[in-house]
Structure 1
Amino acid sequence: MPAFRRDVVVAGASAGGVEALRALVRSLPADFPAAVLVAMHLSPSAHSALPLILDRSGPLPALPATHGAPLRPGVIHVAPPDHHLLTDDGSMVLTGGPTENGHRPAINATFRSAAVTAGPRVIGVILSGALDDGALGLRSIVDRGGLAVVQDPADALYSGMPESALALVEAECVLPAAELGAALDKLVRTPVDGADARPPSPALLLEDRIARDGVRLGSVAPGELPPSGYTCPDCQGALMEVDAAGQYRCRIGHAWSAEALLGAHDTEFQRALWTALRSLDEKAALAERLRQNSEHRNHGLLVHRYAGTAKECTAAAETLRKFLLSLTEEQELEGLP
């Protein structure tokens, strides 16, 4: 492979990511010679104002990504809600492939796709966000000879994503978001010897195919992947281990990292506890009503029985309510959704 320049920059962000992205694009020069793709976790039903926000934040135009449109140097292409943003031979591909860590667009899907189609020409950028989204995708870029750039965790509103990325890959640079633009401009203008380009692994190609073509994991790797013993929070199907670093997929193709899976099961656990709390409150209210009815009818034994039930349920509900509120406070302190 002859010498080349890195001409594809993919950036991933989640919680706190709007401010980080604004700082990044504000620091990019007007003649930035690479295409920029942005994948940020969005609500699937929401209208995204992110392209307009980024367009107003710096000298480069920012546009919603369009299926089949070419990657344009000096343009920021933003993944729309409920679509994975992928690349293919210099153009963009939007798909409705399986969610990853509960998200579509997914940062890992965009990063893996760029790693497959552009290889060592890619620079992956991880910005503010909770948990570990994007870390495995960034590793795919580095494995193909691309570069990793990470926002300094101390500069991020939510440090989970930058810290997880740095635990998995060696970054070319770790800087505050406002300083990343200058670093990226230098990196994309530096000629690179193509002798060290590495082919994509079969596992990388398989995962990219799932996001790109919507193929079911069970139809392309039957019996080849070890069962994890866990279930998919999206569809309740069995999860298979596809990566020793802690990446799981169900037969449909939903993907989960170990950390995101833990968070999803924690959400399910809390939902079950809130349901139990509601049942306790309703049972206490019903028992109190029956106590009052029995009291009016002078049914002393029933009055005593229903009063005891109401008291027990009220006490249990208060204990459970305090526990759930303490969990909510912990999540807010940790920056978890």
Structure 2
Amino acid sequence: MPGHDIIVIGTSAGGLRALSVIVSGLPTQINAVFFVVQHLEANKPSILPQILEDVSSLPASHPTDGEKIQTGRIYIAPPDYHLLVNSGSMRVVRGPQENRFRPAIDTLFRSAARTYGPRVVGVILTGYLDDGTVGLQAVKKRGGVAVVQDPNEAEYPSMAKSALRYVKVDYCIPLAQIPDLLVRLASVPAAEEESYPVSKEIEIESNIAEQAMNTQEFLENVEQIGIRTTYTCPECNGSIWQIGKEEPLRFRCHTGHSFTANIFLSEQSQNVENALWSAVRAMEEKVTFSRQMAERMKNLNLQKAATKYQDHAQSLDEEVSLIRGIIINGFATKRSIAGEYEEPQEEKLR
């Protein structure tokens, strides 16, 4: 029986140090392959493979689409591309963002769970927000092993806390203990795959990430796993479905963008704020124009008209102040609601 030899790792803020600790503790000869998603800036080249190779005895690289999987290697999702695992090979695709990320941890974990079932070990490390929680749920549903870095020592504990909140985790341990655990699990025989069938949700959502369906097929399939809502996608304004009934609450749009509830709320708040700032800009232009017209009427000795324009400008100015107050107070409320789920600027790895 094969061991738990498909190891998928997800991290975000603080991930460079965490990944370095793990890969530096791996032996040269290990009967396993490692797939990594670290949230990276989309428009910057990444040297993360070189950084990890410097501290590891295993080769590391950004794979290409269709590349064959080789044991004893570390494969890292390139910036702005999802890394998906198929049987014996990988897909590197620019599918729809999940939780505002591409690459996303959930897409990698879900694809590995679909393909390799009980052989998969899912590892969640330091990071903000909750990407990886839904993917780790998929790993568990297919009989895999869930490992989470102890949030008490994580540089940014939000991702670990989310995973612990919603997933029945097998191991929650300090970072320094994870390499030895992975080595041991790689030699422990995995369960029979037939005991953990692929669910409809895992299959359909893996196909969405891979963009393996046309529009009609997508709509037919997403209707099978979700309930259409009255919401619109904050990314593309498309129709939104609520996916499943499990926690965390999550949504997916008709083009494939996916959000957990916290991210969806944050995106909606940002869209409202953007709309209000647009209103402020338009109204301030109207204030300026009204005052210009008032001055023009004065020059033409049309005092009544000048007063009318001046009063209109004053009224608009007061309304602009109210909207500015709504924006400022609303932004503070949004941060209060989101709490630890607010994401700072990601680490710059290039």
Residues 27 and 57 in structure 2, CA contact (< 8 A), matched pair in contact too: yes
1:336 to 304, 319, 343: 343
| 1:228-256 Cα shifts (integer Å, max 9, x gaps) | 22222233221223311223223333322
Residues 118 and 191 in structure 2, CA contact (< 8 A), matched pair in contact too: no
1:313 matches 2:320: no
Please list every run of 5 or more consecutive structure 1 residues that lacks an aligned counterpart in the other structure: none
Which of 109-118 and 79-88 deviates more?
79-88
Which of 3-12 and 299-308 deviates more?
299-308
Q: 1:231 to 1:49 in 2, by over 3 A?
A: same
The aligned length equals: 335
Counterpart-to-counterpart distance in 2, 1:56 and 1:313: 61
Q: Identity rate of aligned residues, in percent?
A: 35
Q: 1:255 to 1:299 in 2, by over 3 A?
A: same
DSSP-derived class of the 1:153 partner: coil
Which of 119-128 and 259-268 deviates more?
259-268
| 1:280-327 Cα shifts (integer Å, max 9, x gaps) | 332232233333333333433333333333333334434433543455
Q: CA shift at 1:221, angstroms?
A: 5.2
Residues 96 and 214 in structure 1, CA contact (< 8 A), matched pair in contact too: no
Q: CA shift at 1:97, angstroms?
A: 2.8
Partner AA of 1:280 in structure 2? M
Which of 3-12 and 228-237 deviates more?
228-237
Partner AA of 1:289 in structure 2? Q
1:208 matches 2:245: no
Residues 115 and 122 in structure 1, CA contact (< 8 A), matched pair in contact too: yes
Q: 1:45 to 1:272 in 2, by over 3 A?
A: same
Partner AA of 1:228 in structure 2? T
Q: 1:202 to 1:195 in 2, by over 3 A?
A: closer
Residues 218 and 252 in structure 1, CA contact (< 8 A), matched pair in contact too: no
Q: CA shift at 1:113, angstroms?
A: 0.7
Task: List structure 1 runs of 4+ shifted beyond 6 angstroms.
Answer: none
Name the structure 2 match of 1:40: 38
Residues 29 and 181 in structure 1, CA contact (< 8 A), matched pair in contact too: no
Counterpart-to-counterpart distance in 2, 1:196 and 1:209: 21
Q: 1:195 to 1:46 in 2, by over 3 A?
A: closer
Residues 128 and 159 in structure 1, CA contact (< 8 A), matched pair in contact too: yes
Q: TM-score, structure 1 length as denominator?
A: 0.87
Q: CA shift at 1:10, angstroms?
A: 0.7
Q: TM-score, structure 2 length as denominator?
A: 0.84
DSSP-derived class of the 2:98 partner: coil
Q: 1:318 to 1:115 in 2, by over 3 A?
A: same
Q: CA shift at 1:71, angstroms?
A: 2.3
Q: CA shift at 1:219, angstroms?
A: 4.0
Q: CA shift at 1:266, angstroms?
A: 1.6
Aligned ranges 1:59-208 → 2 under 5 Å: 59-194=57-192, 197-208=195-206
